[in-house]
Amino acid sequence: MAALSISSSCHSKFFVLIIFLTYIISLSSNIGHVIAAGNNFYQDVDITWGDGRAKILNQGKVLTLSLDQVSGSGFRSKSEFLYGKFDMKLKLVPGNSAGIVTAYYLRSEGSTWDELDFEFLGNLSGEPYIVHTNVYSQGKGDREMQFYLWFDPTAKFHTYSILWNPGHVVFSVDGKPIREFKNLEPLGVLYPKSQPMRMYSSLWNADDWATRGGLVKTNWSQGPFTATFREFKADACVWSNGVSSCNSSDHHDWLSQQLDSSSQKRLKWVQNKYMVYNYCTDTERFPQGLPSECNVTIK
């Protein structure tokens, strides 16, 4: 009888332990859905091209992309997302980077794709990089804004962020917003809202247009060229098999985040001092009239 009592007690404790472990695993799974990327490139991304020119280093904490005269390289996130806040720390190609583009962007699949772009256009040594941004909705782009940076992006890592929620898209650098694209669908402006996107990044040669409209070519004697990435973070809704990991009961600050007054002031500061191209002021490019979102005053 004593042996039976001990056996029953052990079974009971084992059953309780199984329930507890199942609960912990489910919590971990939910956390993994909310924070879809956790600073390990082995877990978060797939290298998609480059024939060995893309390398994951330091136990998954660092990723480098290289470009030579034969090929560039690139990677993409393992997960697809439908809304989120995406951060990447990036150190750009140093020295003479003319003709070279480092891209970091979100993009969906198909011929009528959505896309949110950061592209960093290289330059001659001592000349500033240009940060090129664009927004595509259902395959339609032509919404370029370009900026100089207020620091040397090759000297150390800086954080480049994309906030994408149902109300707007915000591009930020080191926490300072540089561009906002509002959801103006009631005015007939297409907005990326229903197609899940992956994060992509690539390093490639674009010397037919990237630097001074293609006048300055890539100096291959300076290669190979390398850009370095770390601390990719996606606080986002993961899209899998047609279902989002977020639901109506979830609370994510970024999902309804708007620019407060101080953020709006920083946005205006950047655009007044560092913007070098705005499609909304290019009347020569749009002789039939500027895109409709350009004629809306957004407070």
Question: Which of the following is catalytic: 115, 180, 185, 284?
Answer: 115
Q: What's the token pair of residue 21?
A: 């472990």
Residue linked to tokens 């601390």: 231
Cβ neighbours for 142, distance < 8 A, ≥ 6 positions apart:
279, 291
Q: Helices in the chain by DSSP H: which ranges?
A: 2-34, 41-44, 261-274
In contact, 200 and 74? CB cutoff 8 Å: yes
Give the separation between CA 136 and CA 190, rounded to whole angstroms: 9
Nearest-angstrom CA–CA distance, 260 and 6: 63
User: Strand pairing partners for 227?
Assistant: 65
As a whole number of angstroms, the distance between CA 197 and CA 130 comes to 25
3-state secondary structure of 83: strand
The answer to whether 50 and 71 are in contact (CB under 8 A) is yes
Residue partners of 39: CB distance under 8 A and separation at least 6: 61, 230, 231, 232, 233
DSSP sequence for 55-72: EEEGGGTEEEEEE-SS--
The structure tokens listed for 108 are 């969906």
Question: Between the CA of residue 102 and those of 75, 169, 191, 204, 223, what are the distances in Å?
Answer: 12, 21, 25, 7, 15
Q: Are 203 and 93 in contact (CB under 8 A)?
A: yes
Residue 231 bears catalytic tag: no
Q: Quote the tokens at residue 9.
A: 């007690």
Single out the catalytic residue among 119, 127, 185, 293: 119
Residue 115 is a catalytic residue: yes
- Annotated catalytic sites, by residue? 115, 119
